């Protein structure tokens, strides 16, 4: 079969090569001409064990070709796999702009039947959007199907995972799409799961999130074992022998990483939130993962004492074949970049007097950062290889003048550990600080002490809230704010708790302070600010402060346009609900703003079925009875019929049909999903 792959990243290139290996003719295209030129010259743009001989073998056999446009891909393949990136957004969701752009290109090139398959990891409902985009931009009557076929590849064993998978998942809407995919995977011997597109999309995110959960569980267990004096390795070994649990992904460490788990867990949590479900368990998984790294770094600080300029790798690893580049050390800062491909390494870049610990991966991508008090220590520029022995506190390196010894700090003493007898070591300020630097250190120490007090109250408040002790939680949040009122995170938690407790006046005040502090924070996440403004709007509406609420919702949409449809829809629903118990003339103002919000939601997402239904209900609230017959305002019929078009079997379908009948309008069509 002729198959096209759009996107030659890790998933696309490996999928294309493995399909060619099983006898299909495959064309891989990519918008990155550099990648295409590399592949045509028989060079690999990515590394994966066994990939190069696999690609070269199938290129030589004429089954695997590279180059051309997306239009060429549509013309060549009966099946077109979309394998483009879906990077994380600031809110943790997935950026689907590449998916949308490719869908438009496919639509404009359709001349005969094609099966368009999502291979990229995407949020649930993406398949419906792909179908809508293709339907909108394709010629009338274009013949196509959309399907989901998620990948389950592990870096390092991706070829084996593709050629010999545990299972193959088809998400399809028609029998024809299923049969085409069965033909594609006929040479593969694996169980096949056939389901609908939404379920297939969820299977991938749910699988990765569950594996991440196992990793975080093991790391949380490690923290318990440390406190109890138990051996976490033995504990998880005993657990893993239980067939119901299994030992895979149940090893304690410094947390999960890589290209999939962090973004997939964050995306799944964001998806669940957008669907109206608070998947708090996933947030806890991410928190444990973050805390595992922080716990590791704390151990490094305790073990090494002096940390400035030290490059940290796995214990006992000589780090050969690792290229270390030192930049010019201006303003006392050492920055390190590695090209190591074996795993994650850590950069300790230190400013004079106050150090900043930054965790980076092998590409230099920052993963996490913290602050503390440091002392002066540097490696010479030109250092290339390091051999670190943490246990003995010594190491060696190859530098510009040849081999040299390195003191890692393990044999040095501190005021709290004068005989170096072991136990926790305490960082001390650099004795050579200038008066200005020492003032900064003192200010930081004071801030750190206050933060510890605030954090203790904050954690206790969270625990109380989880236990259902709402009044106690609110009291503890207020105590934290009394210690230091500068943390918007505490104000926001207080505001949300008050909102859920329906303490609207207090909630509105707390949200107002939260937004004020966030706007002063240059490092704030605009998506979190937008979500806060959204919730602030809810509190204001319940205080009958409609203009102020609308202002906050508009600010939320401006700050996070990706949630424009949701935020406007929420505004419309809250206004409509509140209007039912609000006297005139404010009631009419609420209805008018509500209708405007639903219109804005529809403008942001023309396929937002519930927005059409809620708008219709608003309009029907203004209906009049003439000669015993209901006369609905203009637009009611269109809104109800549009809902039925988008959701023919949706939860409000029967209600929509009954309402159309009640206003004397014939329901357009039958609105049933028919297989092609």
Burial class (CB in 10 A: 0-12, 13-18, 19+), 648: middle
Say what the pLDDT of residue 321 is. 29
**Pick from 541, 98, 92: nearest CA to 274:** 92
Which has more pLDDT, 604 or 432? 604
Task: Label residue 171 by pLDDT band (50, 70, 90).
Answer: very high
For residues 497-526, give the mean pLDDT. 89
Residue 219 CA to residue 327 CA, distance in Å, equals: 35
Instruction: Give the pLDDT of residue 325.
Output: 27
Structure tokens at 230: 């138990």
> Cβ distance 268 to 205 under 8 Å?
yes
Q: Are 28 and 37 in contact (CB under 8 A)?
A: no
- pLDDT (0 to 100) of residue 433: 52
Q: Is the pLDDT of residue 207 over 50?
A: yes
| Per-residue pLDDT, 2 | 96
Give whichever of 128-137, 392-401, 451-460, 575-584 has the largest mean pLDDT. Answer: 128-137
pLDDT of residue 185: 95
Q: Name, in order, each residue with C-beta under 8 angstroms of 221's C-beta and a sequence gap of 6 or more.
A: 232, 235, 236, 252
Q: Contact, 527 vs 91, CB < 8 A?
A: yes
- 260 catalytic? Reply is yes
pLDDT at 348 over 50: no
pLDDT over threshold 90, residue 75: yes
The ranges of the chain annotated as CATH 3.40.50.720 are 2-195
More confident of the two residues 131 and 442: 131
Mean pLDDT of 239-265: 81
Query: Given 18, 83, 225, 260, which residue is catalytic?
Result: 260
Q: Quick check: 504 and 543 in contact, CB under 8 A? A: yes
The whole-chain average pLDDT of the chain stands at 76
> To 5 degrees, how large is the angle CA 668–CA 669–CA 672?
130
Report the predicted TM-score, pTM, of the whole model to 2 decimal places: 0.48
- The CA–CA distances, whole Å, from 94 to 32, 91, 260 equal 21, 9, 12
End-to-end CA distance of the chain: 22
- In the structure, what pLDDT confidence band is assigned to residue 476 with cuts at 50, 70 and 90? very high
Distance CA 249, CA 235 (A): 14
Q: Which two tokens stand for residue 612?
A: 């059409």
pLDDT above 50: residue 676: no
Q: What is the pLDDT of residues 617-651, one digit of tens each?
A: 888 877 777 676 667 788 888 888 888 888 887 77
Kindly report the number of other CB atoms within 10 A of residue 361's CB atom: 18
pLDDT of residue 440: 66
Q: Who wins on pLDDT, 267 or 218?
A: 218
pLDDT of residue 314: 44
The DSSP element (H or E) to which 196 belongs, if any, is none
Stretch among 166-180, 247-261, 403-417, 642-656 having the lowest mean pLDDT: 403-417
Look at residues 47, 54, 48 and name the one whose alpha carbon lies nearest to residue 18. 54
Q: Which alpha helices (H) appear in 109-240, and where do they start and end?
A: 126-137, 158-163, 175-184, 197-228, 232-240
- Confidence class of residue 489 from pLDDT cuts 50, 70 and 90? confident
Q: Could you tell me whether strands 25-29 and 624-626 are parallel, antiparallel, or unpaired per DSSP bridges? A: unpaired
- In this predicted structure, what is the pLDDT of residue 356? 29
- Residue 342 pLDDT greater than 70, yes or no: no
pLDDT at 384 over 50: no
Higher-pLDDT residue of 55, 573: 55
Q: And the tokens for 459?
A: 């954690």
- pLDDT higher than threshold 50 for residue 338: no
**Which CATH architecture group holds 205-288?**
Orthogonal Bundle (1.10)
CATH 1.10.1040.10 domain locations along the chain: 205-288
Superfamily of domain 2-195: NAD(P)-binding Rossmann-like Domain (3.40.50.720)
d(CA 555, CA 205): 31
Domain with CATH 1.25.40.10 in the chain: 458-662
Query: Which contiguous run of DSSP H or E holds residue 123?
Result: none
Residue bearing the bigger pLDDT, 551 or 299: 551
Residue 344's SS3 state is coil
Per-residue pLDDT of 76-126, as tens digits, reads 999 999 999 888 776 667 788 889 999 999 999 999 999 999 998 888 889
Average pLDDT over every residue of 122-134: 91
Write the CA distances from 452 to 61, 380, 445, 462, 483, integer angstroms. Answer: 65, 36, 11, 15, 10
Nearest-angstrom CA–CA distance, 96 and 88 = 9
Q: pLDDT tier at 541 (50, 70, 90 boundaries)?
A: confident
Sheet with 394-399: list strands edge to edge.
385-389, 394-399, 402-407
Q: Which of 261, 151, 126, 252 is nearest to 204 (CA)?
A: 151
DSSP H helices in 501-545: 504-519, 526-541
What is the average pLDDT across 665-675? Answer: 44
Within the chain, what is the greatest distance between any pair of CA atoms?
Answer: 101
| C-alpha span between 448 and 383 (Å, rounded) | 34
Token readout for 209 is 């999130």
Q: Which DSSP helix (H) or strand (E) runs through 558? A: helix 546-559
* Radius of gyration of the CA atoms of the chain, in A: 29
From residue 663, how far is each of 59, 384, 514, 648, 671 by CA, in Å?
A: 65, 80, 47, 19, 19
DSSP 561: G
Q: Is the pLDDT of residue 402 over 50?
A: no
| Residue 1 near residue 25, CB atoms below 8 Å | yes
Q: Range with the lowest mean pLDDT among 352-356, 588-592, 638-642?
A: 352-356
CATH number for the domain whose boundaries are 458-662: 1.25.40.10
Residues 6+ apart with CB under 8 A from 205: 121, 123, 124, 264, 267, 268, 271
Residue 556: phi, psi to the nearest 5?
-65, -45
Give residue 53's pLDDT.
92
What confidence tens digit (pLDDT) does each residue in 21-42 have? 999 999 999 988 888 999 999 9
Highest-pLDDT range among 66-80, 146-160, 302-316, 568-582:
66-80
Q: How many angstroms separate the Cα of 82 from the Cα of each of 78, 166, 188?
A: 13, 22, 20
Structure tokens given for 243? 């067939």
| Helix ranges, 252-374 (H) | 261-274, 280-304
- Residue 103 vs residue 464, higher pLDDT: 103
- The secondary structure of 201-231 as a DSSP string is HHHHHHHHHHHHHHHHHHHHHHHHHHHHT--
Consecutive H or E run containing 426: none
CB atoms within 10 A of CB 314: 11
> For residue 603, what are its two tokens?
């403008």
Question: For the chain, how are helix, strand and coil distributed in percent, rounded to 5?
Answer: 50, 15, 35
Q: Which of the four pLDDT bands, split at 50, 70 and 90, describes residue 385?
A: very low
Tokens for 99, please give them. Answer: 């998916």
Take residue 406 and report the two structure tokens written for it.
Answer: 């390195």
Q: What percent of the chain stands above pLDDT 90?
A: 29
């Amino acid at each position: 079969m002729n198959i096209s792959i759009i996107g030659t990243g890790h998933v696309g290139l490996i999928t294309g090569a493995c399909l060619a290996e099983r006898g299909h003719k495959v064309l891989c295209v990519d918008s990155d001409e550099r990648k295409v030129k590399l592949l045509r010259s028989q060079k690999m743009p990515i590394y994966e064990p066994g990939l190069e001989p696999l690609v070269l073998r199938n290129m030589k056999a004429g089954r695997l070709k590279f180059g051309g446009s997306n239009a060429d891909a549509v013309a060549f393949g009966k099946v077109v796999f979309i394998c483009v990136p879906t990077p994380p957004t600031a809110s943790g969701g997935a950026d689907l702009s590449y998916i949308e752009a490719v869908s438009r290109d496919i639509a404009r090139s359709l001349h005969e039947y094609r099966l368009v398959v999502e291979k990229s990891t995407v949020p649930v409902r993406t398949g419906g959007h792909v179908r809508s985009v293709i339907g909108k931009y394709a010629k009338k009557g274009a013949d196509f199907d959309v399907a989901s076929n998620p990948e389950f590849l592990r870096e390092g064993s991706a070829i084996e995972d593709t050629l010999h998978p545990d299972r193959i998942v088809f998400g399809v809407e028609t029998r024809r799409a299923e049969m085409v995919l069965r033909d594609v995977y006929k040479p593969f011997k694996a169980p096949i799961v056939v389901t609908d597109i939404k379920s297939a999309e969820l299977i991938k995110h749910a699988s990765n999130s569950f594996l991440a959960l196992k990793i975080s569980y093991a790391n949380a267990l490690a923290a318990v074992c440390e406190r109890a004096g138990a051996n976490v390795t033995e504990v998880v070994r005993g657990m893993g022998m239980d067939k119901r649990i299994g030992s895979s992904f149940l090893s304690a460490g410094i947390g999960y990483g890589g290209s999939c788990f962090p973004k997939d867990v964050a995306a799944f949590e964001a998806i669940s939130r957008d669907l109206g479900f608070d998947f708090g368990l996933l947030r806890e998984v991410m928190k444990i993962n973050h805390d595992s790294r922080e716990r590791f770094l704390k151990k490094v600080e305790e073990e090494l004492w002096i940390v400035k300029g030290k490059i940290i790798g796995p214990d006992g690893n000589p780090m050969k074949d690792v290229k270390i580049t030192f930049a010019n050390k201006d303003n006392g800062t050492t920055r390190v970049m590695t090209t190591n491909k074996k795993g994650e390494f850590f950069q300790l870049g230190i400013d004079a007097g106050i150090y900043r610990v930054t965790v980076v991966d092998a590409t230099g991508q920052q993963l996490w950062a913290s602050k503390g008090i440091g002392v002066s220590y540097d490696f010479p520029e030109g250092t290339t290889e390091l051999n670190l022995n943490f246990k003995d506190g010594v190491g060696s390196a190859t530098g510009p003048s040849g081999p040299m010894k390195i003191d890692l700090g393990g044999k040095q003493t501190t005021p709290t550990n004068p005989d170096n007898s072991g136990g926790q070591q305490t960082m001390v300020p650099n004795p050579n600080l200038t008066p200005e630097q020492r003032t900064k250190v003192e200010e930081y120490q004071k801030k750190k002490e206050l933060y510890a007090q605030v954090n203790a109250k904050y954690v206790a408040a969270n625990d109380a809230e989880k236990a259902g002790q709402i009044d106690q939680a609110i009291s503890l949040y207020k105590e934290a704010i009394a210690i230091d009122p500068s943390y918007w995170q505490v104000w926001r938690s207080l505001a949300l708790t008050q909102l859920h407790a329906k303490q609207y006046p207090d909630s509105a005040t707390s949200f107002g302070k939260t937004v004020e502090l966030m706007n002063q924070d240059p490092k704030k996440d605009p998506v979190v600010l937008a979500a806060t403004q959204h919730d602030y709007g809810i509190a204001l509406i319940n205080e009958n402060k409609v203009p102020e609420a609308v202002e906050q919702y508009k600010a939320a949409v401006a700050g996070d346009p990706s949630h424009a449809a949701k935020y406007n829809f929420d505004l419309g629903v809250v206004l409509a609900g509140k209007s039912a118990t609000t006297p005139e003339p404010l009631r009419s103002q609420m209805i008018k703003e509500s209708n405007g919000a639903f219109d804005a939601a529809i403008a942001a997402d023309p396929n937002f079925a519930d927005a059409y239904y809620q708008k219709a209900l608003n309009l029907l609230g203004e209906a009049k009875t003439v000669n015993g017959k209901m006369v609905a305002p203009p637009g009611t019929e269109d809104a109800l019929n549009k809902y039925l078009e988008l959701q023919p079997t949706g939860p409000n379908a029967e209600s929509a049909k009954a309402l159309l009948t009640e206003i004397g309008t014939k329901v357009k069509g039958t609105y049933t999903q028919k297989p092609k």
